[in-house]
A = this chain, B = another copy of it.
Amino acid sequence: MTSKSARGVVLDTIRRIPPFTALRDAEWQRLVPEIAIRSFPEGVFLFFEGDPPRALYVLLEGHVALIRHTAEGRDVVLDIMRPGSMIGELAVLEGMPYSASAKTLTEVRAVVFTRDQFMRLLQTYPQMATAVIYDLVRRVRHLSDLVQSLAIERVEQRLARILLRLMKISGEPHERGTLITLPLTRQDLADMAGTTVETTIRTLSRMRREGIVDTMRGRILILDSARLTHLAEEGR
């Protein structure tokens, strides 16, 4: 067990992300033994909407979708969380049930704090509040964009926007363009765009016919991001 054990390497990474950069070295050293790192497979829920706020997660690797479920069985994707962001903060901060479910889109590694633990940390190290604030600010901005998109744009435009965002989040260079590495079904995309699977498929098929994207089962390849940007911004 050297100082550069697997855990040691991960801790070095953690040290550099927002909630923890605020700490002084002495504080950090005191915190280290408390840090629980956990891994989750793809496609599982960290928590469900309505659950009591047991834990807060700081995402280290992978992606997590925040999802609302409706009584009629439809889902709405509120946001996709990337490494460095906090998950479950609203519920933990207010002591209220989670207002959305958190589902892993990939394998995930995260620091897990119990509610008590995190609240204590926040009291002990008020500088950590800054990280919470910037995380919330990012979410407000994203949700505002989403509201605007849902309120005034048509499905094609919304999907174009979503594809561009996914490209930024998880795009990987590919010989013919950029591959979106997140494994998303048509239903997932529909839940992000506030539409149905069928409409999503028809829209994506049109984009494929026009050479804007290429699609495989669960994978999307962006061929012409310029056209896509045009679609997202001009609407046609």
Contacts and interface: CB of A to CB of B under 8 A. Distances in A.
A78 to B, nearest CB: 5
Contact of A129 (B89, B133, B151): B133
Contacts of A70: 148, 152
A70 B233 CA distance: 11
A9 B33 CA distance: 50
Contact of A141 (B74, B90, B146, B147): B90
A76 B130 contact: no
A146 B68 CA distance: 12
A70 B150 CA distance: 13
Contacts of A127: 126
Contacts of A148: 68, 70, 76, 78
Contacts of A132: 133
Contact of A94 (B76, B137, B194): B137
A136 interface: yes
A208 to B, nearest CB: 24
A44 interface: no
A36 interface: no
Interface in A115-171: 126-127, 129-130, 132-134, 136-137, 139-141, 143-144, 146-148, 150-152
A138 B140 CA distance: 10
Nearest to A90: B137
